[in-house]
Each structure stands twice: as C-alpha cells, then as structure tokens.
Amino acid sequence: YGGEEFIALLTGAQRDDVLRVAEAMRAGVQDGGLHANGRPVKVTVSIGVAMFGVGDSLDGAFERADKALYAAKRQGKNCVVFG
C-alpha cells in the first residue's frame, strides 16, 4: 500500500506552525492504532511541506512540496521535510 498523495492548506500560518501541524499529523498516523483481523498494522507517512506566499506560483509551491516529500522518503520515510 502506498503512493497516495493529498494536500493540506493552512492559511495564515507561519513556518513553525506548519511544521508543528505536519509533525502532529505524522505522529497521529503512526500512533493511530490501526488493526486488521485483530492484529496491529503499522502505518506511517512521509510529509513534504512548502510555503505559498505573495508572489509565489501555485505550481512552484507544489513542486517544492513534492521535492520535500521525496527527500522525506529518501531519509528513511515516516518524517517531515520542509522544501
């Protein structure tokens, strides 16, 4: 299972706020307590983060987030990387 991507938009957030939320999401997935057939299933998530500000293009922000995501996967997965 894997390879699914989604986007979360946080308006008016600063870098530290965004990283804190992303880390909480990562930890929540890891510690979610998912079970299948009565057995625990390990689930993790790699998260790439990018900021979108005045003068930025949406495509540029998506590209930075995508590069950060792949950097997170290269770093061993189950982590948050800012791009």
Q: What is the rounded CA–CA span in Å between residue 22 and residue 75?
A: 16
Amino acid of residue 31: D
Q: What is the rounded CA–CA span in Å between residue 70 and residue 20?
A: 20
In 4-65, beta strands by DSSP E: 35-36, 39-40, 47-49
Any catalytic annotation for residue 4? yes
Instruction: For tokens 């950097």, name the residue.
Output: 71
Please identify which of the residues 4, 5, 23, 63 carries the catalytic annotation. Answer: 4
Residues with a catalytic annotation lie at: 4
